[in-house]
Structures are given as C-alpha cells and as structure tokens.
Chains A and B, each alone.
Chain A
Amino acid sequence: MYTRDLFATATESLTRTKSRSLLTILGIVIGIAAVIIMLAIGQGAEGLILSEVADLGSDLVFIEPSASGKESGPPSPFIEQTVDLDDANTMENSGLFSAVSATLYSTVSVSSGESNDFVQVMGADEDYLLLYPADLRFGAFLDETDVDSYANVAVLGIEIARDFFGDKDPVGEKIKLKSKTFRVVGVLEEQGTRFFQNLDKQVTIPVTTMQRDLLGVDYVNYISARAIGDIEVAKEELRYLIRDNHDIESEGEEEGLLDDFFVSSQTDATETIGIIGSVLTILLSSIAAISLVVGGIGIMNIMLVSVTERTREIGLRKAVGATPKEIMQQFLVESIMLTMLGGLIGVLGGSLFSLAVGWVVKTYYLSTWTTVIPPNAIALAAIVSTVVGLVFGIYPARRAARLNPIEALRYE
C-alpha cells in the first residue's frame, strides 16, 4: 500500500466520525497546550527575574542573617537577627566596596490628613541609590546627615505620592508613619516592580530612624554592597571581617559552620533562579507526561472501539488481500494522525493563550514582561504527540491486524 493511500484512507475514516475524533484528541490538546502555556509563562517569569538581576549588575554582594552560614530565604522573624549597622560600617571602612547600604523593611500604617493606608516602609541610607539606581521626580533622596541625625524625613514612591497629594509637588508636606510625623523630602520616579514588589508603593526613611523610632530594634534585614575588585575575593574577605565583628572563631574544617550570617552575590542569585527553573521544568514535564498518558489512554480506548466497530471492514480488507502489516499500518496511521492533530491544536491554543496571558500581565501588572513561546517546546510537543499516538495505537492496531478474516466477516 502506498503511504499516500494510507493517509488518504486514514483521513477518510477519521472524518467519517468527526465529532468523535475531535473529542478523542481533547486530552492531547489540553496536555500539549498546558505544556506550552506553563513553559511560556515559566520562561517569561525567569527571563524577567534574570533581566532584573542583570540590571542591578553582577558585582552586588549581600549579607543577611542565617542560622548556619547557609542561605535562609526571605527575611523572617524566626531567624535571629544578627546583622547590624556596625557590620555596615566595617564594610564601608574595609575598602572592598564602592557603596554599602543597610536595609530594613516593615509594613506600617501611613496617614496624611484624611487619607491613610498600609504600606511597606524601607529603612535605607544615602548609598541606596548607588546600588539600586532610580531617578527623582521631586526633591532629593536621603543624605548622610538625615541618616546620622535620625531625621524624620521620608522619600515617597510615585503611587503613594499620587494617592496622598495628587500630582502636585509634596516636598515639605507631612505624613504620619504609625504616630510619628515625617517630612517629605523627595518623590522617586516610576520604578515598577522589582522581584514582584511594587517599589512605587514604598516609603523610604533613614534606617537609623526606622530602627530607633519606628521598630525599636538594632538590626537590619540585609546589607547590600558593590564590590570594587574580584567579587569572590570580596566575599571571602567579607566573611572574615564579619566573623571578627561577631566574635566567631572557626578554622580549618569547621570554617563557616558557626557563621550567623550568609554572604551571597547576584551570581549566586542567578544560579539559584536557574535551579528553580530546572526544578519547575521537571515538575511541569511530569504533569505534562501524566496528562499525555491519560490522553493516550483515551486514544487507545477509542481506537479499540473503532477496531470493534469496523471488524467487518477489517475482514473485508483482509479478504481482498490486505496483509496483517497493512491493516496494522492503517490503524497506527489513524491514531498518529489523531495525536498529531491534537498536538497541533494544542500548540496553537497554548501559544494563543500564553500570548493573551502575557498581554494581560504586561498591560495591567508588569510592563517589563515578555512572552516567549519556546520553539523547542513546540518541537517537543510535535515529537511527543507522535510518540503517544504510536505507543497507544499499537495495541488496537495489533488487535485489528490479528483478526481472523472469516470471523471478522461474520461479525454482527
């Protein structure tokens, strides 16, 4: 039998049961579409984070508290807070860094006149903008005097400024954080989000004021610094400096085990994101594999029904001289065509859906979002759907090929 005839015959019998064919491939369509959507969104998110990391530069070093010298995740009240401004001063004086900035976060109530809200307040210092560059719409950022003198001054994110003062220049206006009054000294330009935090809804005050007057603490959440020379050397030097500061003695094999802080860099963050990405990919692949197996079983089921329904046709084809191999080919081609069609619809549907989701996210949430339809995912979908058709089509096709022609012709 010519391949062309094989496909023509398969198309004919599949179109004879159009709605059933379409319902049969739904499992494959959903499976493939899910893979495309998840990969597209996953890659979009990963790309976004990586580009933000890249924007900040690869020479950033962070130090944060940790129970065991290992990374401990986001700032948490359950971790003993061991990093303080003394550490920041040590870093500044070390000559290893061009800029050092200690940062402390909290969510507090903010009010001005009639308006009030809960916002994230960040305690920072004058070096902050050297590490995380941003432009000012009005006024100025915090300066050294503000930090040293525990000044009650605040720099607003653009959204907060609009919420409280409209479009006018709010420099010199007063706001209340908790019950303390702060004078507005500047407004930052629109910054959007960084690592999924809306910077435009943030209030920045001197870290010293935040420690003493707002929270009554002596620690900071983390310190960021920009290394001057080789970043790995800077990290290693920094560990010794901080151990010295914290009176931690550890040498040889025990080195690092007693550390109550953790030093990391942007490079580490990039690696971590890469690992998260791979884990996600494995997870998504497993889900996709399960849905494709389920879809494949659906195909097998319907092909078995089809073989039973067409028993007489199979008998007839055998009677006119079709070999078992030719019968098998015919049914295999039918199941492969079904799954390939499912894969095609899945890729198209998944891509359209991803583009739509991307558009919504870009328009309403994150303007820096880009949707990527990964071309290797499309190739993978095509291969996988063909393989599913082949694997789950073999059993029904073999059954058809093995039918006894006399019994098949008598089948009622």
Chain B
Amino acid sequence: MSNKPLVQFVNVSREYVNGEVVTPALRGVTVSIDQGEFVAVMGPSGSGKSTLMHIMGFLDTLTGGTYLFDGVDVSGFSEDHLARMRKEKVGFVFQAFNLLAKSTVLQNVLMPTMYCQISRKERMRKAQEAIAGVSMEHRAGHFSNQLSGGEKQRVAIARALVNNPAVIFADEPTGNLDTKTGTQILELLAQLHDDGRTIVMVTHETEAAHYASRVLRLRDGLLESDTTNGIRQRGGYNK
C-alpha cells in the first residue's frame, strides 16, 4: 500500500448560513487520507460526517481552511471545475441507491460515461467491465426496479466504478439493506479495497466500520478520534 496522501484537509470548516442563523457543520478538521486506504467515517447525526464526505467528494465547498486533492488545492474551484473533478476523480454510492428506475442495469452504469467525451464502443467496454466487477453480468438487461436491494447496490457500485475514479465515497451503503445483503456489499467494498481502491464510507454501524482499515470519529464538527483497525481477516479487521 502506498502512502501517497490523496485527500488532505487542513483545518477545514463549513458553516451554513440561513438568514441570521449560522450553523457550523465542520469546525476545523485536519485529516489526511492516503491512496489505497479504506476509511470509515462515524459519528452521531449532526456530527458533520455527511458534510465531510460532500466536501471531499466535490459536491459541497468549504468556508474555511484548505482542501488538497492529490496535492492540488481545490478550495477555490468553480462549479464547472468541481463537476469535472466529480466526473474524473470520484464515484458515489448512496444509501438509497439512486438508480434510474425505468432504465436497465447497463443504461444505469453507462450514464456517467455520457458526460465523458469517449467513443460509444469504449463506453460500452467500460460499463461491461464495471458490471462484471460486481458480478452482475447476468442482470445487465434487466430494469433496475426488477432488482433486489443488494443487487441495486451492486449496480450502484458498478456505476461508481465505471469512470475508474481515484476515490469511492459510500454514504451509508448498507443503510437500506438487511444484515446478510449488507454484509455482501461490505465484502464487495473490502474486495475493491484489496484491489487497491481508495474508499471513504460514512456509516453509523460499528459492524460496517470493521471492514475499514481506519476509522474516523466525528462529534460536533470536530475530529474526535482517528484509529487504525489492525490486521485484515475474514469478516473485517481485528480491533
């Protein structure tokens, strides 16, 4: 595993202003995530873990501090520039899957590639590769609303992988799944980690956090703890 820092937060803060009321979501977080890490972000609701992930994933902007991505300061990037970063550098997996209901598995996975200027043939190859990566080839022609929850999340992971991102952000990926399928999804993420992918997963389930190599705990917009999970074994890591 290389130790090149990919995501670097230096004293990052984020305040939401609603009229006169200023709500601080992050209050000076300094953290660095290396390439190839599998990081679980935990904390009670309102602790700022979603905000942290949104800023890291270029969906939101910071109001204070510095964000270096792959050594480049992205703090002042424009909306279009952030969109390009999302397209090229990151992939998202959501709790609610967010698949296009009346489209097929293949169409869903192809969707992000439409915003890249690459040939149709190349896009098809990438999509099929991503679908194979989550073992969903047999369902490629099915409509997404014909799939089970676990299958839907696999397709969502394939969609996140299709543009070969540097980081995958997963927001409560097992939140809508039963324990068994949830475990399967976590195994899949662990396997992607084994293949060298960088993964940042927001979760409130301790069992899920066991699959990560490192756990960040947030409370009231501050980093409360930063621990490493020890040696990888079947079903997760040793504490």
How long is the Cα–Cα vector from A406 to B14 in the complex, in angstroms? 15
Check A9–B114 contact: CB distance below 8 A. yes
A326 at the interface (CB under 8 A from B): yes
**A406 touching B112, Cβ below 8 Å:** no
Q: Does A92 contact B (CB under 8 A)?
A: no
| Cα separation A405 to B98 with both chains bound (whole Å) | 13
Known: A317-B111, A320-B87, A321-B115. A406 touches B54 (CB 8 A): yes
A2 to B112, CA, bound (A): 13
Contacts of A16 in B (CB 8 A): 102
A12 at the interface (CB under 8 A from B): yes
Quick check: is B224 within 8 A (CB to CB) of the other chain?
A: no
Task: Indicate whether A230 reaches chain B with its CB closer than 8 angstroms.
Answer: no
Is B31 on the interface with A (CB-CB < 8 A)?
A: no
**Quick check: is B132 within 8 A (CB to CB) of the other chain?**
no
By the criterion CB–CB under 8 Å, are B59 and A320 in contact? no
Using Cβ atoms and an 8 Å threshold, which residues of chain B touch A357? none
Majority secondary structure of chain A interface residues (helix, strand, loop or mixed) = helix
Which of chain B's residues 89-137 have a Cβ closer than 8 Å to chain A? 91-92, 94, 98, 100, 102-103, 107, 111-112, 114-117
Residues of A within 8 A of B92 (CB): 319-320
The answer for the CA separation of A322 and B102 in the assembled complex, in Å, is 20
B20 CB within 8 Å of chain A: no
Chain B residues contacting A324 (CB-CB under 8 Å) are 79-80, 83
- Asked if B102 contacts A321 (CB within 8 A), the reply is no
Task: Kindly identify, within residues 314 to 364 of chain A, every residue whose CB is under 8 Å from any CB belonging to chain B.
Answer: 315-326
What range describes how many residues of A lie at the interface?
Answer: 20 to 34
Q: Which residues 1-43 of A sit at the B interface, judged by CB distance below 8 A?
A: 1-2, 5, 9, 12, 16
- In angstroms, Cα B54 to Cα A5, docked, is 28
Inter-chain contact total with CB atoms closer than 8 Å? 61
Q: Tell whether, in the assembled complex, residue A319 and residue B114 are in contact, meaning their CB atoms are under 8 Å apart.
A: no
Q: Knowing A9-B114, A16-B102, A409-B94 are in contact, say whether A322-B83 is a contact too (CB < 8 A).
A: yes
Known: A16-B102, A312-B98. A321 touches B117 (CB 8 A): no
> Which A residues lie within 8 Å of B80 (CB)?
323-325
The number of chain B residues with a CB under 8 A from chain A is 27
At the interface, yes or no: B220 with Cβ under 8 Å from chain A?
A: no
- Nearest CB in chain B to that of A312: its residue: B98
Q: Is B4 an interface residue (CB 8 A)?
A: no
Q: Which of B83, B100, B103 contacts A321 (CB 8 A)?
A: B83
- Establish whether residues A1 and B115, one from each chain, have CB atoms under 8 Å apart when the complex forms: yes
**Is A320 in contact with B117, judged by CB distance below 8 angstroms?**
no
A321 touches B84 (CB 8 A): yes
A316 & B98 in contact (Cβ 8 Å cutoff): yes
A132 to B163, CA, bound (A): 83
For residue B97, give the distance in angstroms from its CB to the closest CB of chain A. 10
**Any chain B CB within 8 A of the CB of A46?**
no
Q: Which of B88, B91, B103, B114 contacts A5 (CB 8 A)?
A: B114
Q: Is the beta-carbon distance between B111 and A320 smaller than 8 angstroms?
A: yes
Residues of B within 8 A of A (CB): 54, 57, 59-60, 79-80, 83-84, 86-88, 91-92, 94, 98, 100, 102-103, 107, 111-112, 114-117, 159, 163
27 A-B residue pairs with CB within 8 Å: A2-B114, A2-B117, A5-B114, A9-B114, A12-B103, A16-B102, A313-B100, A316-B100, A316-B111, A317-B111, A317-B115, A318-B59, A320-B86, A320-B87, A320-B92, A320-B115, A321-B83, A321-B86, A321-B87, A321-B115, A321-B163, A322-B87, A323-B84, A324-B79, A326-B115, A406-B54, A409-B98
Please give me the 3 A-B residue pairs with the lowest Cβ-Cβ distance, nearest first: A321-B87, A320-B112, A323-B83
Give A residues with C-beta under 8 Å from B. Answer: 1-2, 5, 9, 12, 16, 312-313, 315-326, 405-406, 409
